[in-house]
Structure 1
Amino acid sequence: MTLRLGTRRSALALAQSGHVADAITRLTGVPVELVPIVSEGDVSRASLAQMGGTGVFATRLREALLAGECDLLVHSLKDLPVAGAPGLVVAGIPPREDARDVVVTLDPGGLGALPTGAVVGTGSPRRIAQLRRRAPRVNAKDLRGNVDSRMQRVRDGELAGIVLAAAGLSRLGLFDPAEDVDGPRPGLGAASDLYLEPLGLAEWPTAAGQGALAVEIREDAPSPVRQAVAALDDAASRLAVTIERAILADIEAGCHAPVGVHAEIDGDEARVRSVVYAIDGSTRVGVDRTESLTGGYSRTTGGGNGAIAADGADPTARAALIGSAIARRLLDRGAAGLVSRESPQ
């Protein structure tokens, strides 16, 4: 048996699909071939928010999977809508990579050295809001294109910088997340002429699921397919992204909304930072919590509001409850008004 893995044609999609294919073969001995598929998001030049968010990349791939054109898909989990697709299931979440954002510049001083009025590009409303809040002197600009074209616009001087996901740069061999260097550092390979500055998750929480991959199959997939994909699943990564995506779902925010959230699993505890931003950066609502994943009875607010019942038997179900309770806390503090006013500009 050879598994057919459906993938977008971009360099990043092919790279991360190749990583998953190699991992399946290494763990199970089952060969995997890549099946490139073109999505609407690959051919349209409209902004992601105008097209309905990054879920546009998943739609065509899912159609191909349901039609039997392939056996499995690999998504960047941050780009996957929180609502599941009928007939499909995320059967594997490999170990999560670096969840941080990275600012890419020609200037070795990074974001802090950019002059007033410098233009920084990103396709994410959440990153635009964070730039407007944390670096108000720069101008945030909506941006489309693959990693290579975005970096070239920095080289050409059209943009002073761009913001990208560390995990994507790592999968392309352009960034080493393990390098113990504070501040900007030269990129690797094709990015060696640029400076890459990782942004700390405490001040710059990223998209739900950022750094993680989701391997999706049909609900009625044959047992060999299910077993091959299940071999990839990492329990800690699944728990963390379950919390993050439950927060998005319960505040009714799509994967392109100005929401930063990051959960870190440490033994039986989950440390969660979540922030909802006004798109102009003027306002933010945040909740930081540490919650037990096993038993107990914890609360995110007083008076019973946001209580999490003890579960013990199912850590994933409890992770979802933790995310829901944090979402309620965010809503109590006014997050709904910020999400309803979100705008790509």
Structure 2
Amino acid sequence: MPDRPARLGTRRSPMATAQSQAVADAITARTGTAVELELITSYGDVTRAHLTQLGGTGVFVNSLREELLSGGIDFAVHSLKDLPTTPADGLTVAAVTERDDPRDALCAREGRKFSDLPAGGTVGTGSPRRAAQLAALRPDLNFVPIRGNAGTRLGKVAQGELDAVVLAYAGLARVGRIDDVTDVFEPEQVLPAPGQGALAVECRTSRAADDLAYLSAVDHTATRAAVTAERVVLAELEAGCAAPVGAYAELLDGRLRLRAAVVSHDGREAVRRERSVPLPQDGDPAEAGASLGRELAREMIGEGADRIVAAAAAENTGDAGEQHRHD
């Protein structure tokens, strides 16, 4: 064990600090290593621009990565769905935590279910993936982009600005707001973001196998295999975390089942595929997940999924996109 508390870097938002504290507590419980949180502000936390305007990828993790590389912190905890699929030079994901509930949740006024929302109702979401899949289910609703932490978004419903918002169920659980959930979307309705519900523990590659080896105590093999499959789909489609791509893999009876969807912004066009493979008795389950993700993504590209992704990216370019490229 180190002679000082390990320094865990986290964003300052209530959700980020809650999930980082949970990882810190798990590390201490399993290894005896003391961990203290270092609060870091990311550009994604302070900008007022919408996620699609920012390009999404890396906007919440770059500040943490800079601290890692400079030695200001020992390791960082990210929501895996926010982590770019392209590895950062000098850094590695030392652990992927056991996944919490990956589903999306509706929080609506008057306790309404999604099917009960009035035609023309306004639903807030910061995710093009959610908006596209929900538009396919209810084209009569208006989906509008929103920013802010969970409390801010839920406040817009309570104040009557919106009929409902859609957030990650796991995130709501981490900040104690499950009572606000009025409906939950099964993967058959809305596929979650790749990696949703799981946390990534990242550190410098040079330290992973030696003085930070205790991080492996919170690594969950089955979750790592599943999220690897999902994130490879995203990478093969050359899509960022703000793209309208949903993917979900789960281990069932020794097989890894992967479902993925790419949906146009209005929900009218979609490519959906599913594939499963047995997990090997020997070898790295994550490698099996990566192969599964590549195979499924190539099938989807053959059906035009990359064209839908490109069209969605083009819709988000403009003045805000120019600003992002200079940041």
**Aligned-pair Cα RMSD in Å:** 1.4
Q: Which residue of 2 aligns with 1:320?
A: 290
Alignment partner of 1:288: what SS? strand
- 1:130-279 correspondence runs (5 A): 130-175=133-178, 187=179, 194-221=180-207, 223=209, 225-279=211-265
Separation of aligned partners in 1, 2:259 and 2:100: 18
Runs of 4+ in 1 over 6 A off after TM superposition: none
What SS does structure 1 have at the residue aligned with 2:131?
helix
Whether contact under 8 Å (2:226, 2:286) holds in the other structure is no
| Distance in 2 between residues matched to 1:142 and 1:8, nearest whole Å | 22
- 1:290-312 CA deviation, whole Å, 9 max, x = no partner? 212228xxxxxxxxxxxxxxxx5
**In structure 1, distance between residues paired with 2:277 and 2:205:** 32
**Structure 1 unaligned spans of 5+:** 176-186, 188-193, 296-311
Shift of 1:315: 2.3
* CA displacement 1:205-235 (0-9 Å, x = unmatched): 1100000000000011165543211110000
- Report the Cα offset of residue 268 of structure 1: 2.5
Superposition deviation, residue 265 in structure 1: 1.1
Cα distance, 1:267 vs structure 2: 4.2
Residue type at the aligned position of 1:242? T
Q: State how far apart, in whole Å, the 2-side matches of 1:225 and 1:71 are.
A: 10
1:293-337 deviation per Cα after TM superposition (whole angstroms, max 9, x unaligned)? 228xxxxxxxxxxxxxxxx53322121111000000000111011
Mapped pair 1:51 → 2:21 = no
Q: 1:322 to 1:154 in 2, by over 3 A?
A: same
* Aligned partner of residue 56 in structure 1, secondary structure: coil
Q: Please report how far the alpha carbon of residue 54 of structure 1 lies from its aligned counterpart in structure 2 after TM superposition.
A: 4.6
Deviation of the 1:142 alpha carbon: 0.6
Is the Cα–Cα contact under 8 Å of residues 39 and 57 in structure 1 kept in the other structure? yes
- Contact kept? 1:82, 1:245, Cα under 8 Å: yes
TM-score by length of 2: 0.92
CA distance in 1, matches of 2:196, 2:208: 29
Match of 1:333 in 2: 303
Secondary structure of 2:223's counterpart equals helix
Asked if structure 1 preserves the Cα contact closer than 8 Å seen for 2:92 and 2:208, the reply is no
Between Structure 1 and Structure 2, the one with more helix by share is 2
1:248 is aligned with what amino acid?
L
Q: Distance in 2 between matches of 1:119 and 1:141?
A: 7
Whether 1:67 and 2:70 are equivalent positions in the alignment is yes
Mean CA deviation greater in 109-118 or 95-104:
109-118
Give the counterpart of 1:36 among 19, 39, 43: 39
Q: Partners in 2 of 1:319 and 1:329 — Cα distance? A: 16
Cα distance change on mapping 1:195 and 1:21 into 2, 3 Å: closer
Cα 1:195–1:203 shift into 2, 3 Å? closer
C-alpha separation in 2, matches of 1:53 and 1:223? 31
Change (3 A) 1:290 1:207: same
Question: What is aligned with 2:325?
Answer: none
The whole-number CA distance in structure 2 between the counterparts of 1:172 and 1:145 is: 14
1:331 partner letter = I
SS in structure 2 at match of 1:271: strand
TM-aligned CA deviation for residue 109 of structure 1: 2.5
Deviations 1:111-140 (A, max 9, x none): 111111111000001011112111111100
Distance 1:142 1:55 in 2: 19
Secondary structure class of the residue paired with 1:221: helix
- State the AA in 1 paired with 2:183: E
TM-score w.r.t. the length of structure 1 is 0.88
**8 Å contact kept, 2:275–2:292:** no
The DSSP-based 3-state class of the residue aligned with 2:265 is coil
Partner of 1:76: 79
CA contact (8 A) 1:107 1:195 kept: no
Cα pair distance change 1:195/1:241, threshold 3 Å: closer
- Give the equivalent residue in structure 2 for 1:126: 129
Identity over aligned pairs, percent? 45
What number of residue pairs does the alignment pair up?
312
SS state of the match for residue 220, structure 1?
helix
Contact 2:76/2:201 (<8 A) preserved: yes
Q: Distance in 1 between matches of 2:43 and 2:98?
A: 29
